[in-house]
Amino acid sequence: MTAALEIRGLEAGYRGTPVLRGLDLVVPDGVTAILGPSGCGKTTLLRAVAGFVTPSAGTVTVAGSEVVGRRTVPARLRGLGYVPQDGALFPHLSVARNVRFGLPRSVRDADARVAEMLELVELPATMATRYPHELSGGQQQRVALARALAPRPRVVLLDEPFSSLDASLREDTGRAVVRALRAAGAAAVLVTHDQGEALSLADQVAVMLDGAFLQVGSPGSVYLTPSDPRVASFLGHASLLDGKVADGREATCALGVVPLQTTTAPGVVRLAVRAEQLQIRSAGADGAPAEVVDISFYGHDATVRVRLDSGEELSARTPATSVPTAGDRVSVRVVGDVVAFAEGP
């Protein structure tokens, strides 16, 4: 089966400064999240695929037919759904007329399609006669998705679709959007800077930095086995520590001797310790002695920043029931295997 979307060697730039530096990505089916900090080029990538930015090199193939490469297919003929940041509903058209906007005149039962799409995005049919300004932010996003799905595209491109929603709405809307995409059988590329969103909604996550992908893989693999220290610190809020490997299975660092996830060649390494791998215990217990710098309390848990007596600062996540106070003396211990990256020569 051909991939829904295939990107090979894609390059693009604005006025001589490269923004995309040779990207490769295969979107088989399901949801692929492009995750990266703002300014990394992820929106440019999406717009290049959609046809609003002209790439300087590379190919884009949608469902087996090339849209960028030897010839450039204009944006309107690419058959891609597009959902921009705020949904960009046409403010002068009702919900129903927004949804049917992209349907060719030859579609006979456009009304039925509108109803079907609204059902797909879990909106009541009575909403069809409303106007965009009468909808909440989450409803607008769902209508925008219904509009993009109505012409039955193979791939839908979503550009930070939930970033303007409240935290409480964001999760529900995100789930509903993914359900609708699956029901419609459309693959999706979701651009986001929110790692929780990327990890929880996507089947595949591509971590992007400075116009290049650092790692592409399942949410579990990019989180648990990062291939690059930058991926580790961006995704898991991991603290990076210098260490030394002697026998390949263990490393020595400021936290003592820690087990490694994979066998590593002896030498100097960077160790990535994720926040939930660090256990804060009362002073004197087994572990490295440290002092609590500050605490961010979230309710369900808390992030505690500690300074080891040897000078390194680390972030640890602790259950809400056992939160120390700033200035406390504690001891810190690692739970589980640690990822090591060989230091460059």
Partner 1 sequence: MLLVVGVGVAALTLVPLGYVLWTTAELGADEARDFLWRPRIGELLWNTVRLLVAGVAASAVLGVVGAWVVERTDVPGRGWWHGLLCAPLAVPAFVNGYGWVSTTHAVQSFPGAVMVVTLSYYPLVYLPTVAALRRLDPAVEEVATSLGRGGWSVFARVTLPAVSPAVLGGALLVGLHLLAEYGALQLLNYPTLTTAILQQYATVFNGPEATLLALVLVSFCLLLLGLELLLRGHRRRSRVGSGSSGDPVRIRLGRMRLPVLAGLTGLALWALGVPLAALVRWLLRGTSAAVDLGELSGAVVTTLGLAVSGGVTATALAVPVVWLAVRNRGLVTTAVERSVYTASAMPGIVIALALVTVSIRLVPSLYQTVVVLLVGYTILFLPRAVVSVRSTFELVPPGLEEVARNLGCTGPGVARRVTLPLVLPGLTAATALVSLAVATELTATLLLAPLGTDTLATRFWSDASSIAYGAAAPYGLALIVLSIPSTWLLGRLSIRSAS
Is residue 89 a contact residue for partner 1 (CB under 8 A)? yes
Is residue 11 a contact residue for partner 1 (CB under 8 A)? no
Is residue 87 a contact residue for partner 1 (CB under 8 A)? yes
| Residue located via tokens 């996003």 | 141
x/- map, 252-271, partner 1, by CB under 8 A: --------------------
Q: Is 201 helix (H, G, I), strand (E, B) or coil?
A: helix
- Where is 232: in which H helix or E strand? helix 229-235
x/- map, 321-340, partner 1, by CB under 8 A: --------------------
Q: Which of 220, 152, 217 is nearest to 187 (CA)?
A: 152
Buried b (16+ CB within 10 A) or exposed e, 253-270: bbbeebebeeebeeeebb
Is residue 72 a contact residue for partner 1 (CB under 8 A)? no
With respect to partner 1, which residue has the nearer C-beta, 174 or 236? Answer: 174
With respect to partner 1, which residue has the nearer C-beta, 88 or 110? Answer: 88
Give the CB-side neighbour count of residue 36, counting CA atoms within 13 A. Answer: 25
Q: Which of 94, 51, 95, 91 is nearest to 75 (CA)?
A: 51
Of 10, 33, 67, 148, which lies in the binding site for partner 1, with binding defined by CB under 8 A?
Answer: 148
| Token digits of residue 309 | 């007596």
Question: Helix 110-120 vs helix 137-149: angle between axes, to the nearest 10 degrees?
Answer: 130
Of 2, 37, 39, 52, which lies in the binding site for partner 1, with binding defined by CB under 8 A?
Answer: 52
With respect to partner 1, which residue has the nearer C-beta, 135 or 308? Answer: 135
Is residue 37 a contact residue for partner 1 (CB under 8 A)? no
Q: Total residues at the site for partner 1 (CB under 8 A)?
A: 35
Is residue 138 a contact residue for partner 1 (CB under 8 A)? no
Beta carbon of residue 67, minimum distance to partner 1 (angstroms, whole number)? 12
Residue 260 is classified by DSSP as B
> What is the 3-state composition of the chain as percent helix, strand, coil, each rounded to the nearest 5?
30, 35, 35
Say if residues 7 and 25 touch (Cβ distance below 8 Å): yes
Of 16, 91, 124, 311, which lies in the binding site for partner 1, with binding defined by CB under 8 A?
Answer: 91
Of 58, 81, 138, 229, which lies in the binding site for partner 1, with binding defined by CB under 8 A?
Answer: 81
Of 26, 63, 88, 224, which lies in the binding site for partner 1, with binding defined by CB under 8 A?
Answer: 88
How many CB atoms neighbour CB 127 within 10 A? 18
CA–CA separation, 242 and 267 (whole Å): 11
Of 73, 75, 169, 224, which lies in the binding site for partner 1, with binding defined by CB under 8 A?
Answer: 75
- Using alpha carbons only, what angle is made at residue 156 by residues 177 and 207, rounded to the nearest 5 degrees? 85
| Residue located via tokens 């990822």 | 339
Interacting residues with partner 1 between 155 and 214 (CB under 8 A): 157, 164
Is residue 344 a contact residue for partner 1 (CB under 8 A)? no
Of 13, 151, 217, 289, which lies in the binding site for partner 1, with binding defined by CB under 8 A?
Answer: 151
By CB under 8 A, name the binding residues for partner 1: 50-52, 75-92, 101-102, 104, 131-133, 137, 140, 144, 147-148, 151, 157, 164
